[in-house]
């Protein structure tokens, strides 16, 4: 437990320091007494803590001690150093002690000390203000998730005939091993194929896999109804569980890092394990109480999981969804930079990670990219329709350019709706600064293309001379805008705590082009 030392200057005490000269003879006498060996030994080994009523460890009660200007706050108590003429003592000054042997029970102080002890047990010392809200929703999520897992495990034991005379132990064990083996294999394949998404789409992947985990528990609950298909159902459920576990382990470090404001990532991770263990045990207790209350009614006990599953799963997912709102990531991704740049272009300031977190949300795949002129980082798709503007944009690229911007046409949804978008192609030698500058220029171009003038021109033909002329004029204007605005915007990003040295891109967005002059 850490202690904090406060210097509190006071003009009321008469203590004089031995290195300060004084014309008062009494001060000289006191100065001489300070040089005695008793003080040296006191400072080395006899600094004591008050036990009760201002009595030191030797049982000697101090009388009229001299206050020293050092105050310590520790374990929720306020103490101060005193000099009694022989030694330095640390006495309580927050009203917690009492004289003599009398004892006064103070309920408010007991509650305050208990809440402080609980907070120190669960909450790290130096974390952001939003961490407490995250832990509250985590408590709700872990308790009901743990209770659901207990009910699902009971259902699976019932499906393989655990505890019945007709059960075949070897067959049940073989089925259990097979479903675990298939789950671990799927976990490896899933982790390898989706590794980059853990950084670029952390909240979306975390919530999606949590939803998958909840569905897997529902599949396990159905195993007693179809015991002949136990291996198939249990394997499917375990595959989903292993994928969720892989996502949980991969996304936990960046979430913990967003809360560790003093670089105390290990402490935040350790406290997270303590929280998970305690909250899960409460969930086990909840499931045990429900089972014990229905032990005399076997039919109702068997149907209990199907009654509680929709309620507990809804509370579990709601807790996860609300908890992710308190996670404010400072790392830059393509989506977060777009939010930052759009705010800068429209309002002239860089939003904080908390503001971006609210706008970003979970951002599901089926709600992503519904806006017009969607910006994409990557390479041209030769299977799609490439307008004439794209070919001319590539012809204007030189070796000194670290990126170029062009338009593309893609089809979205089952109805194959034709949409136009903006493509940012990045050179293989580009740095993080170049990517941010390219996105700044692309966002400026998108705002211009959404104007009524450009909409009317693009409805006609995107290969007309007027459109081509206006396009290259827009590209020149956007470059000048980037040169003027990038410096101030980058300074505000650093001051807001954004990690502007690196940008996290997925596999497709990491594609680069190289320049070849034939």
In the chain, where the domains are located: 120-162+170-326, 331-510
What is the number of residues in the chain? 518
Distances (CA, A) of 151 to 197, 287, 308, 391: 32, 7, 9, 61
Q: How many CB atoms lie within 10 A of CB 240?
A: 24
Q: What is the pLDDT of residue 56?
A: 47
> Cα 496 to chain center, whole Å?
17
Contact 3, 126 (CB under 8 A): no
Provide the CATH number for the domain formed by 120-162+170-326 in this structure. 1.20.1250
Ranges in the chain, pLDDT < 70: 1-63, 75-76, 94-106, 162-183, 187, 190-197, 363-370, 383-386, 413-416, 458-463, 518
Cα–Cα nearest to 136, from 354, 322, 355, 329: 322
The DSSP element (H or E) to which 491 belongs, if any, is helix 465-495
How far is residue 363's CA from residue 366's CA, in Å, rounded to a whole number?
8
Whether residue 142 contacts residue 281, with contact meaning beta carbons closer than 8 Å, is answered with no
Backbone torsions φ then ψ of 92, nearest 5 degrees: -75, 135
How far, in Å, CA of 293 to CA of 296, rounded?
Answer: 8
Enumerate the H helices of 160-264 as residue ranges.
169-193, 197-200, 202-221, 230-259
* Pairing state between β 417-426 and 374-377: parallel
Question: What is the pLDDT at residue 431?
Answer: 92
Distance CA 245, CA 28 (A): 72
């Amino acid at each position: 437990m850490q202690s904090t030392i406060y210097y509190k200057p006071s003009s009321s005490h008469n203590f004089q320091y031995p290195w300060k000269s004084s014309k008062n003879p009494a001060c000289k006498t006191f100065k001489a007494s300070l040089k005695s060996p008793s003080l040296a030994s006191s400072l080395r080994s006899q600094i004591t803590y008050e036990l009760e009523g201002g009595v030191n460890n030797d049982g000697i009660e101090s009388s009229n001690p001299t206050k020293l200007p050092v105050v310590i706050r520790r374990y929720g108590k306020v103490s101060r150093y005193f000099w009694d003429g022989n030694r330095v003592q640390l006495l309580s000054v927050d009203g917690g002690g009492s004289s003599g042997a009398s004892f006064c029970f103070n309920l408010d102080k007991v509650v305050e000390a208990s809440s402080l002890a609980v907070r120190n047990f669960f909450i790290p010392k130096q974390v952001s203000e939003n961490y407490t809200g995250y832990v509250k929703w985590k408590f709700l999520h872990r308790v009901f998730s743990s209770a659901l897992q207990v009910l699902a495990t009971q259902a699976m034991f019932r499906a393989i005939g655990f505890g019945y005379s007709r059960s075949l132990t070897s067959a049940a064990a073989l089925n259990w091993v097979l479903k675990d083996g298939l789950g671990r294999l799927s976990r490896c394949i899933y982790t390898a194929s989706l590794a980059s998404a853990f950084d670029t789409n952390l909240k979306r992947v975390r919530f999606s896999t949590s939803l998958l985990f909840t569905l897997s528990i529902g599949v396990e609950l159905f195993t007693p109804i179809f015991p002949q298909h136990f291996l198939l159902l249990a394997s499917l459920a375990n595959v989903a569980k292993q994928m969720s576990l892989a996502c949980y382990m991969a996304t936990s470090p960046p979430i913990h890092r967003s809360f560790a404001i003093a670089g105390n990532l290990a402490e935040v991770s350790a406290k997270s394990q303590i929280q998970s263990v305690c909250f899960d045990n409460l969930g086990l207790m909840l499931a045990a109480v429900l089972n014990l209350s229905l032990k005399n009614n076997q039919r109702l006990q068997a149907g209990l999981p199907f009654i509680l599953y929709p309620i507990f799963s809804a509370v579990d997912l709601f807790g996860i969804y609300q908890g992710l709102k308190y996670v404010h990531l400072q790392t830059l991704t393509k989506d977060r930079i777009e939010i930052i740049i759009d705010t800068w272009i429209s309002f002239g300031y860089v939003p904080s990670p908390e503001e971006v977190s609210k706008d970003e949300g979970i951002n599901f795949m089926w709600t992503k990219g519904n806006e017009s002129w969607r910006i994409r980082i990557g390479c041209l798709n030769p299977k799609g329709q490439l307008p004439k503007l794209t070919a001319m944009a590539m012809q204007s690229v030189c070796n000194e350019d670290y990126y170029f911007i062009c338009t593309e046409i893609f089809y979205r949804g089952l109805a194959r709706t034709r949409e136009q978008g903006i493509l940012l192609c990045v050179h293989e030698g580009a740095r993080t600064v170049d990517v941010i500058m390219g996105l700044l220029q692309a966002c400026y171009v998108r705002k211009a293309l959404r104007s009524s003038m450009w909409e009317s021109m693009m409805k006609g033909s995107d290969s007309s001379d007027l459109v081509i002329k206006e396009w290259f004029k827009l590209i020149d204007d956007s470059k000048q805008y980037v040169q003027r605005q990038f410096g101030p915007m980058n300074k505000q990003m650093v001051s807001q705590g954004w990690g502007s040295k690196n940008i996290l891109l997925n596999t497709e967005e990491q594609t680069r082009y190289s320049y070849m002059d034939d």
